[in-house]
A and B are shown apart, each in its own frame.
Chain A
Amino acid sequence: MSRRTIIPFGPQHPVLPEPIHLDLVMEDEKVVEAIPSIGFIHRGLEKMAEKKDFQEMAYIAERICGICSFIHSMGYCQAIEAVLRLEIPRRAEFLRVIWGEMSRIHSHLLWLGLTADAFGFESLFMHTWRLREKLLDLIEETSGGRVIFGVCKVGGVRRDVDAEALDRLLAALADLEADCREIAAVFARDASVQRRLSGIGVLPKEEALRLGAVGPTLRGSGVPSDSRRLGYAAYDALDWAPVTEEAGDCRARCLVRMREIAQSFDLIRQAVAKIPEGPVSAKVVGAPRGEYFARLEQPRGEVVYYVKGNGTKHLERFRVRTPTFANLPPLLKILQGCELPDVPIIVLTIDPCISCAER
């Protein structure tokens, strides 16, 4: 039978509660083509920057995403600081790294749980999210927020974490790390999980580059591209290398994220060991004039913050290119020719945050 049917996927689909709609053109259970439509909840936050004070905008930027919130505000602040040529205290940069990496772990754990749910492994899903809950508690303890941290501001961070709290954080993270290693083994080795991930949704290296993939999607195809290598914040002082996997399939993308969780634990440890004493914020004088593209690595990949100031407190243009937006074209490519049961898994392996793409 080669009759073509169209199966709608989203924007209200139980597997992916994100406002994306895919028209899956099917031949039996094989996807011939996937046509996306997004834009259900476009918020126009970029335009909002033209009416808001540039310092207030940091908190709005944080609300672009409900998961990788912290790195959004960090990206915005870095862009503004670069335009202002504002040197922020080193301690603030280290704290940003610590919070940034915690938000990476939390995002990756959330993603792993959702993926487990997509291939019908409920107990793994529940367990992963239980671990994430512990991490959220730690985030709350250090920053005061659970998902929206609200600690990043232009010129540094809003609160300091004392040495005692950092020690407590390290101890708690050590426990969590052991638990994470346990679930990593399930994702990497469990037979039924491998069956659902191995060889599914293969994105070859050249294709990934050509289609503009970013983050774990790109690194899962063997490209060691990681914006943290630019050495922003305190990443220049830490010892690490991008995680890559060669296979380019769903399993590779999953393993990249698993290994990045381990790496983030390590980065936090290094940052806590090297964090200098001092103030955590610098005074902001003047208003931004000029333009800058700040590139940061989010859990989902490279995010680009573009700001253009004209010397007033309102920006002339503010633009965010979220990683999901860049990962949509590769997604369409790998959906072609896959089987219907693999669709949710493939869609999830780019870690879509559509609400984030609809800034």
Chain B
Amino acid sequence: MMLPDRIFMRLLRLPYVRTRMLIMLLSLVMFVPLADQLLWRYVYGFINDLSPGTWLIFFVWLGFPDAFNFWVREELAFKRRLILCLGMLCFYVLALGAIPFDPYAYGFQPWIILFGLTAWVAWHGRNAAGITLLLGIDLAVYALHGLASDNLWDYLFDPVMMIVLAISLIRPLMSRRKIRSQS
């Protein structure tokens, strides 16, 4: 008969179990009281509401990598991730006032954005089922007014998503650099 500690050690060797335990641990840490309130409130004070897309990324990336396997068979290509990340960076730079043009203002009456998303999905939606699904969820949450924001942009992406994308670019960039230096 296998002892419980051995079962535990065997389970711990499974990568998904390890990841999920890490998530549980991190989640519990968020409820640790610090000064007069929970740690979560300090984190929330900084990051504010996360977009539905970021929650899904965390969901898939940290614990349930197979959840959307039917529609997403491979991760987003490096170039597309790079373009998305740079696009978000440009958006934030403009929204913070680099020039008089403010793209964020278009999210309060988002007709142009809705038209653009529809056109993109009509053109490319079948080949990018994962992103189409994500956009559909974003729009549904926007319609339900699921976040504090009244701006559609805040439902499509957020700075945390940009940071996650940037982190995901580091390893491919490093390996490309290594290959170049070897050749």
- A and B: interacting chains: no
Q: Which residues of chain A have a CB within 8 Å of any CB of chain B?
A: none
